[in-house]
Amino acid sequence: MAIERTLSIIKPDATRRNLTGKINQRFEDAGLRIVAQKRIQLTPSQAEGFYAVHKERAFFNDLCTFMTSGPVVVQVLEGEDAIAKNREVMGATNPAQADEGTIRKDFAEDIEANSVHGSDAPETAAEEIAYFFSGLELVG
117 is catalytic: yes
Q: Is 79 left (phi over 0), alpha (psi -120 to 50) or beta?
A: left
The answer to whether 112 contacts ligand ATP (rule: CB under 6 A) is: yes
Q: What track of x and - describes contact with ligand ATP for positions 84 through 103 (by CB under 6 A)?
A: ---------x----------
The CA-based angle 123-90-32, given to 5 degrees, is 70
The answer to whether 46 contacts ligand ATP (rule: CB under 6 A) is: no
Give the shortest CB-80-to-ligand ATP separation in angstroms: 20
- Name which of residues 58 to 77 contact ligand ATP (CB under 6 A): 59, 63
Please, are residues 34 and 76 in contact by the beta-carbon 8 Å criterion? yes
Query: What is the SS3 assignment for 74?
Result: strand
Which of these is catalytic: 5, 11, 104, 117?
117
Catalogue the active-site residues.
117
